[in-house]
Structure 1
């Protein structure tokens, strides 16, 4: 009998993280979406210099697109390079896309990307969330609550 080869599983490599989104929005339901990329975009993403802090997702013609995300040009590619801020198609099931677009239209919610990462199979994925924007006083309240929880944990740790 031949010994079975075990696939070398790669850990989830986060390429871009939108930490600001958790502060600016109340995050609701989170979805995982594939992303349609060109060859040079994949190589540029692997360098880890992409940013999604100002990007958002929106529906267009029954499809979901990621707008204003920045994937830098791949330096080793010459004339076949990609445009850094082009809209990128998100790959999701139709039911999920419909759910997101209805929530955006009816409830005034926003679809924000939380992170871009490569999964175990090496495919680029985007974690998007249905979110509701916070007002300035909500942000201050969230900061107070976070600081209080941090102080509370510190006190509990020091006592026992």
Structure 2
């Protein structure tokens, strides 16, 4: 199975994605990526990169190897990628299980962390990114509580 290449900051974007984007083709590609990441039944490998990823190649601003939305955009997205990798304790170009990345994100990223990790991102002001991280943390917290709660035997009396 070939890993999905995903840049560092997109590890956070996928949780807040609500169908907005730079072009119809970018939105469709992000929908596909987000669907796979949110599918709890699907495990997959993700290679975390500080470079153009599979979503970027559907964006109208991608160049051959860098983001070219404006003269400073590539430096900006690379900075966000590196901050996210450092915050999560990940290695550039390493391959991780999707489930492990979700667990790490839920554990280590609080909604307010996005003010620093995603500083000056044009999407941050919409609030959907923080909401997405909050939802992920809530969901993982509930699953953790279920997993750590003591096993209770349930008696079922069925009359035949």
TM exceeds 0.5? Answer: no
Query: Taking structure 1 as the reference length, what is the TM-score of the superposition?
Result: 0.30
Which is higher, the Rg of structure 1 or of structure 2?
1
Structure 2 length-normalised TM: 0.30
- Give the structure, 1 or 2, with the largest relative contact order (CA under 8 Å, sep 6 or more): 1
The structure that is helix-richer by fraction is 2
Which one has the bigger strand percentage?
A: 1
